[in-house]
Amino acid sequence: MNSVTILEFPSNLGLKEPSQGHEPGVRKLPEWLRQHHFHQLIEPEATRVLPPPPYRMHHDLESAVLNADALAQYAREEAKLLNEVLSEQKFPLILGGDCSILIGNALALKQKGDYALFYLDGHTDFIEPPQSGTGGAGGMAAALAAGRGPKKLTDIQGQSPYIREEYVWCVGNREYDDEYEQILRDSQATYFTLDLLRETGIDKGVNSFLNMVEINNLDGFWIHLDVDVLDDEIMPAVDSRTPGGLSYEEFDRILYLLLSSPKATGIEITILDPDLDPSGKYTKLFVQHFTDTFQKARIAK
């Protein structure tokens, strides 16, 4: 079993201000998890930190994406660090940050080979700037990783697409809106809404993804975890709340199946905002479930 390296990528550049003059609190996520004994329970061989650029609300006219230049630069730095960890045969566990940290992580994967993406999120994040109401890259992350969107973010170092569209699985969306979902439905990516996942069955749904990875002889797959995929009642500390979501029983099973696969290459955790959980009540439960499932899956692997 490969040893684990925690990488902290606490960028909030992919989100708009929650209110004027206030930056999103997700940049505090790694330290917040540390306070709740996450690192201690994971027992990584090493923890490495990549400080993000200062938060801004810069509207990039060329790309129509907030903070596009800073995001692209940070992605290059992420990819360099992640490549080092992957070259050492370590398992990277990445703490965001918002979903835009996927850009640099996906870039690193492209530089290593052919990988799939299991995008576990309460939203599709498979839209382009014209469909975005905010211009925030966090809400476009899956599409950007698949090469859809401005070249400034999709073709860094001439590597577009970082993950081929047919190897992208968007799982867990419960933001049911025809216009919002249409770009994903029209793509070559696989789309499992929360309803479809439950109808299919978690084991069958996840195993169909794992079979796809094997059939295509891919080098591995990456797991994106946005905590807003969880039921709003057990994880309300997110920037874009929607009723419903996965129970912890469902969440644990999905993670276990994915992480116990020998093809699992790494995972990123995003969006949990400490400012929205001042007592730590929701974070404590998340840490308990994630770390327990992570360790059980790593042993099985």
Identify the pLDDT of residue 138.
98
Alpha-carbon radius of gyration of the chain: 17
Classify each residue of 184-194 as buried b or exposed e, where b means 16 or more C-beta atoms within 10 Å of its C-beta: beebebbbbbb
- Which residues of the chain, if any, have pLDDT below 70? 1
pLDDT tens, position by position, 150-202? 999 999 999 999 999 999 999 999 999 999 999 999 999 999 999 999 999 99
Contact 95, 6 (CB under 8 A): yes
**pLDDT of 166:** 98
Structural domain boundaries, residue 243: 4-300
Q: Domain holding 78: CATH number? A: 3.40.800.10
Q: pTM for the full model? A: 0.98
pLDDT value at residue 281? 98
Number of domains in the chain: 1
What local confidence, expressed as pLDDT, does residue 84 receive?
Answer: 98
The vertex-7 CA angle with 120 and 231, nearest 5°, equals 30
In this predicted structure, what is the pLDDT of residue 1?
54
